[in-house]
């Protein structure tokens, strides 16, 4: 466990309150690369502001809401008094559709809910399904899935950092980081043939083993990415504008964050060292050497630091996974789940019947239920699956981390300025596909 | 205290569980303490794939959750999820499911309440215990029509407020929706996209008087028929 290093000590919004109880925002100066806050201005007299509160509608189509999110804000001057979020514009009933699909047929839907983290969702889903079927996975498959999960974490955080910096006025990190994201997508394309909607896993194994030379591509990425990340972070970390627009905003205390059910970087930025990879390990994460990064203030700036450090930890995990990747099969040897080789299915009667029955009827887990959480880039994601013994789940429930994280937004933005709503909303790292499902 | 059902190595550090049994296995110790404390409010305990499920009586849910949250030895301080399950077997009751977690003790507990489909689907809200329950309960209401008694703002969340087709995740709800495509299209075209503020929001700006006429009509209808959204019960 490590704590984020805060090289900037500014406390905007906490330099005092004015006569109306509203936080005072002090002007920011920069000396020698460090941002400093001037003394809070003293108001000689209270301004006469008895105007009515104003109603402002942000979204649903607004570039800074990261999707079709709508926020109705009640403003007193420029200060948010109340925030009422509206969601559901992307609702397409994934959970309902899942009840009409076999387990392997649901995997493509997991691509499309949190679409920045598709490979991670694929892995999360099959972990739950394999628990329900009572099967394990091969050693090679375990390590390949760790590689997928961590690559997926990196691309998700990269998009977060890039888009958030654009929201707050910095364009260069966005371009640099999206180049790295492109590199990961090229890797994924070489492996599973798709870039965004990967459908990389199957119950009991993977869609495909690695192609020749893929690991060299990953090594090259791991060599280049930390440099890009460091450069991008250097542009932001001690940047006065970045600090001024993130420090002290949307802070959640540890107790509030736990009570609100926040998870992932949102929870860890508030100082709670809860990481599913450490506390409820899966895929042998306990055997990897990595740190859980926690923040101290729980503000937007801390969430930025936590996510940046998580990317560095992901690189560490990927390097260890590269070293230990064993040979052997990627799919388990279980004819209940794994299709026979295509060549056999077209030449042998038994294999053809087997192939036909598996595709048309689908594998059947015993009646039961399970909830297997994983640490997705957004937080604790889990698929709660209930089976009644047929080939289709009775209930397939996504525990959406962004949904729960976003539900705390009224508490985070109230009392802040309208322009800070954009920063706070961006810091939650929402993906509406996952929230609306 | 390290939970026995969570796989752990010799030092008590959690490890990836392997070879989990379908039924039986180590039980979450909270199940026994719950049974001792709440007696016949605890109906039964099941262990499936290593996870303990405690079935509780609907009227005892709130005190049980409060006790689990506040008792120092339990300390289930984290609400993971609230959802519901309706089985294909129409005779089986609807189950409302709470997933609770004790961060410190590394415990995971599933609580279930069975609700008969013949009666009104209602359980107690736990928003006063976990603020994170707010949207989860709203979603459960939206998708299953389960009422959470005591929720401060139980509105639809994913579907729009004037949605009249029922509750999408119920098994009697067809995959394509209740209304025909023609009817759905007709309603979508007739809707005014501007008319999407709730009364609560409009009270902010005293803006009701300056609304477009059709939006005023819609809000007037909703006020006259507040239960209109509860079709399908």
| Rounded Cα distance, A401 and A403, in Å | 5
Give pLDDT tens digits for A134-175.
888 899 999 999 999 999 999 999 999 999 998 888 888 899
Q: Once rounded to an integer, what is the mean pLDDT over residues A171-191?
A: 91
- Burial class, A5, CB count within 10 angstroms (exposed 0-12 / middle 13-18 / buried 19+): exposed
pLDDT at B178 over 90: no
- HSE-up (13 A, CA, CB side) for residue A288: 29
Q: Which of residues 384-413 of A touch B (CB under 8 A)?
A: 384, 386, 388, 390, 394-395, 397, 399, 403-404, 406-408, 411
Buried b (16+ CB within 10 A) or exposed e, B182-208: eeeeeeeeeeeeeebbeeebbebbeee
Asked if A415 and A125 count as a contact pair (C-beta separation under 8 A), the reply is no
Top-tier CATH class for B1-158: alpha beta
Task: Give CA–CA dist A282/A317, Å, rounded.
Answer: 14
Q: Considering only CB atoms, which chain B residues are within 8 Å of A284?
A: 15-16
User: What are the residue ranges spanned by the domains of chain A?
Assistant: 94-436
Q: What is the mean pLDDT of chain B?
A: 81
CA B56, CA B189: separation in Å to the nearest integer?
Answer: 46
Give the per-residue SS3 of A340-393: CCHHHHCCCHHHHHHHHHHHHCCCCCCCEEEEEEEEECCEEEEEEEEECCCCCC
CA distance B83 to A129: 18
pLDDT average, residue stretch A104-126: 92
Fold (CATH) for A94-436: Cytochrome-c3 Hydrogenase; chain B (1.10.645)
Higher pLDDT, A30 or B189: B189
**Is pLDDT above 50 for B3?**
no
With bands split at pLDDT 50, 70 and 90, how would you rate the model's confidence at A333? Answer: confident
Tokens representing A236 are 């932001």
Q: Which of A425, A410, A418, A422 is nearest to A77 (CA)?
A: A418
Which three-class secondary structure string do you get for A226-265?
HHHHHHHHHHHHCCHHHHHHHCCCCCCCHHHHHHCCCCCH
pLDDT tens for B8-27 read 777 778 888 888 888 888 88
Domain ranges for chain B: 1-158, 179-233
B189 vs A78: CA distance, rounded Å: 36
CA distance B213 to chain A (A): 19
Q: pLDDT: is A244 or A353 the higher one?
A: A353
Q: What is the ipTM of this complex?
A: 0.83
Mean pLDDT of A387-411: 91
Query: Residue B166: which pLDDT band, with cuts at 50, 70 and 90?
Result: confident
3-class DSSP state of A4: coil
Q: What percent of chain A has pLDDT over 70?
A: 88
Q: Where does the pLDDT of residue A395 fall: very low under 50, low under 70, confident under 90, or very high at 90 and above?
A: very high
Length of chain B in terms of residues written: 233
Question: Average pLDDT of chain A?
Answer: 85
Whether the per-residue pLDDT at A29 is higher than 50: the answer is yes
Which residue of A91, A96, A279 is in closest CB contact with B14?
A279
How many residues comprise chain A?
Answer: 437
A371, B197: Cβ pair inside 8 Å?
no
* A108 Cβ under 8 Å from any chain B Cβ: no
Nearest neighbour of A53 by CB, restricted to B23, B81, B205: B205
pLDDT of the residue at A297? 83
pLDDT beyond 80 at B197: no
B127, pLDDT greater than 80: yes
Place of tokens 């969601």: A87
The rounded distance, in Å, linking the Cα atoms of A259 and B100 is 12
**pLDDT tens figures, B41-72:** 888 999 988 889 999 999 999 999 999 998 88
């Amino acid at each position: 466990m490590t704590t984020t290093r805060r090289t900037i000590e500014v406390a905007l919004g906490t330099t005092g309150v004015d006569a109306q109880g509203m936080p005072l925002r002090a002007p920011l100066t920069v000396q020698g690369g460090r941002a400093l806050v001037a003394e809070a201005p003293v108001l000689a007299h209270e301004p006469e502001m008895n105007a009515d509160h104003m109603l402002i509608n942000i979204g649903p189509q607004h570039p800074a809401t990261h999707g079709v999110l709508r926020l109705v804000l009640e403003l007193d001057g420029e200060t948010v008094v109340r925030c009422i979020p509206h969601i559901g514009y992307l609702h397409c009933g994934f959970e309902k559709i899942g009840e009409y699909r076999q387990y392997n047929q649901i995997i493509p839907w997991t691509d499309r809910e949190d679409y920045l983290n598709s490979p991670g969702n694929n892995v999360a889903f099959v972990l739950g399904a394999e628990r329900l079927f009572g099967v394990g996975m091969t050693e090679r498959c375990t390590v390949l899935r760790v590689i997928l999960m961590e690559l997926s974490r990196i691309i998700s955080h990269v998009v977060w950092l890039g888009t958030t910096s654009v929201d707050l006025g910095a364009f260069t990190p966005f371009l640099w980081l999206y180049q790295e994201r492109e590199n990961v997508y090229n890797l994924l394309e070489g492996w599973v043939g798709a870039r965004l909607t990967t459908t990389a896993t199957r119950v009991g194994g993977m869609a495909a083993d690695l192609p020749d030379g893929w690991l060299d591509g990953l090594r090259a990425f791991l060599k280049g990415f930390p440099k890009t990340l460091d450069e991008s972070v250097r542009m932001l970390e001690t940047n006065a504008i970045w600090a001024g627009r993130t420090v002290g905003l949307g802070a959640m205390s540890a107790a509030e964050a736990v009570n609100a059910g926040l998870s992932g970087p949102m929870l860890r930025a508030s100082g709670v060292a809860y990481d599913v990879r450490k506390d409820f390990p899966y895929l042998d994460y306990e055997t990897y050497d990595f740190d859980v990064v926690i923040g101290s203030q729980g503000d937007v700036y801390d969430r930025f630091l936590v996510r940046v450090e998580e990317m560095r930890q992901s690189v560490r995990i990927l390097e260890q996974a590269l070293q230990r990747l064993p040979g052997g099969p990627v799919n388990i040897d279980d004819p209940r789940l794994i299709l026979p080789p295509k060549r056999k299915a077209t030449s042998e009667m038994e294999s053809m019947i087997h192939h036909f029955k598996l595709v048309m009827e689908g594998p059947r887990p015993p009646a039961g239920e399970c909830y297997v959480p994983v640490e997705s880039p957004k937080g604790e994601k889990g698929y709660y699956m209930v089976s009644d013994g047929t080939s289709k789940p009775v209930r397939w429930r996504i525990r959406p981390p962004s949904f729960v994280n976003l539900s705390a937004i009224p508490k985070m933005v109230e009392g802040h300025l309208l322009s800070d709503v954009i920063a706070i909303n961006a810091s939650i790292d929402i993906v509406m596909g996952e929230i609306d499902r | 205290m390290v939970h026995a059902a969570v796989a752990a190595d010799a030092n008590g550090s959690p490890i990836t569980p392997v070879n989990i049994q379908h039924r039986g296995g180590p039980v979450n110790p909270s199940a026994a303490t719950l049974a001792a404390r709440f007696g016949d409010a605890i109906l039964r305990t099941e262990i499936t794939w290593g996870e303990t499920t405690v079935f509780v009586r609907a009227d005892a849910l709130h005190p049980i959750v409060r006790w689990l949250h506040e008792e120092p030895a339990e300390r289930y301080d984290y609400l993971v999820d609230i959802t519901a399950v309706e089985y294909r077997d129409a005779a089986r009751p609807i189950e409302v499911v709470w997933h609770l977690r004790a961060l410190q003790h590394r415990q995971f507990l599933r609580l279930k309440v069975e609700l008969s489909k013949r009666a009104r689907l209602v359980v107690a809200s736990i928003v006063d215990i976990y603020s994170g329950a707010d949207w989860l309960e709203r979603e459960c209401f939206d998708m299953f029509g389960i009422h959470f008694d005591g929720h401060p703002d139980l509105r639809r969340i994913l579907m729009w407020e004037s949605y009249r087709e029922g509750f999408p995740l119920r098994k009697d709800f067809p995959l394509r929706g209740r209304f025909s495509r023609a009817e759905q299209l007709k309603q979508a075209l007739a809707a005014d996209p501007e008319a999407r503020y709730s009364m609560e929001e409009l009270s902010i700006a005293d803006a009701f008087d300056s609304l477009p006429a059709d939006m005023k009509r819609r809000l007037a209808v909703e006020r006259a028929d507040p239960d209109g959204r509860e079709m399908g019960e």
